[in-house]
Amino acid sequence: VSTPSSGVKQTLLPTRLPKETAQEAMLLLGSVLVNGPTQTVASEHKETVSTGGNAANVAVGTSRLGLNSAIVTEVGDDTAGEHVFANLKDSGVDTTLVHLIKKQKTRMSVILLYKKERTILSFHDKQKYNLPPIPKTRAIYYTSLGVSFKKIQTKLITEIKKQPNILLAVNPGSYQMRQGLLEFKKILPYTKILFVNLEEAKKLIGKNLPIKKLFVLLHKQGPQTIVITNTKNGSYASFN
């Protein structure tokens, strides 16, 4: 267990892995959005616009590490959607599987920052997620989706059963945890790596338990590796 104040020496990863180290494509599955245009930091006012969403963030991060990353998502045919396309392409992410939805608006959010806390105000247009045929990939990162996530998750489980060698990493979004918890939990038996925060871990178990006990009970649901984040107190990992 390592926390920011633990004094454990950290080794920084290179910004780009050697070419010969690059793996088969990592497929990212989740919603993307545009962050902005307003952020409030303490009493100061700053305006920035950026591409966000867990899937987009991880897609860009893995691309910068030298992995061939592709993202499965949907955007609207608006200025925000154009921004997302351009930003992902410029970051080296394969956008072949990004679906452009006509007469629909791209998700947007405004992030309010105050000291160490943040509040996200989000706009979600209706989306009908579709899972295309999965290309050859070594890993899939499945994260935040909205109302229609149940259909695409069912298809994802079917694909993982067909290709059990694919490493499935899961990091649920707020809707999946709030409105579709029972349905979301069906993916856990097929999950190799699970990322959740402390409150989400407690919600998945249904009890307010110490972290060590949460790990034990979460492992029983399927995930082999579990990471639990706990805001400024750091993160915890368990390997089964």
Residue pLDDT, tens place only, 48-78: 667 878 899 999 999 999 889 999 998 888 8
**pLDDT for res 34:** 67
Burial of 196 (0-12, 13-18, 19+ CB in 10 A): buried
**pLDDT for res 46:** 54
Task: Centre a 10 Å sphere on the Cβ of residue 104 and count the other Cβ atoms it contains.
Answer: 17
Tokens coding 88: 């992902």
Q: Which residues contact 58 (CB under 8 A, 6 or more apart)?
A: 28, 69, 141, 143
**pLDDT for res 6:** 35
- Cβ 98 vs Cβ 74: under 8 Å: yes
Burial 120-142 (b: 16+ CB within 10 A, else e): eeeeeeebebebeebeebebbbb
| Phi, psi (degrees; rounded to nearest 5) at 111 | -105, 120
**pLDDT for res 33:** 72
**pLDDT for res 125:** 63
**pLDDT for res 1:** 32
**pLDDT for res 171:** 96
- Pick from 127, 128, 131, 129: which is nearest to 140 by CA? 131
- Cβ 123 vs Cβ 105: under 8 Å: yes
**pLDDT for res 13:** 35
First to last CA, the chain: 15
What does the CA dihedral 83, 14, 29, 4 come to, rounded to 10 degrees?
-100
Tokens coding 60: 């860009």
Q: Distance (Å, rounded) from C-alpha 221 to C-alpha 163?
A: 20
Digits of tens for pLDDT over the chain (240 positions)? 333 333 333 333 333 444 433 444 789 888 877 665 544 444 455 556 678 788 999 999 999 998 899 999 988 888 888 888 899 999 999 999 998 888 888 877 777 777 777 777 776 666 677 788 888 899 999 998 887 789 899 999 999 999 999 999 999 998 899 888 999 999 999 999 999 999 999 999 999 999 999 999 999 999 999 999 998 899 999 998
Q: At what angle do helices 211-220 and 198-205 cross, to 10 degrees?
A: 50
Q: Which long-range contacts (CB under 8 A, 24 or more apart) does 2-10 make?
A: 2/234, 2/235, 3/233, 3/234, 3/235, 4/232, 4/234, 5/234, 6/234
Tens of pLDDT, residue by residue over 70-111, are 999 988 888 888 888 899 999 999 999 998 888 888 877 777
Residue 200 in 3-state DSSP?
helix
Q: Mind spelling out the 3-state secondary structure of 143-170?
A: CCCCCCHHHHHHHHHHHHHHCCCCEEEE
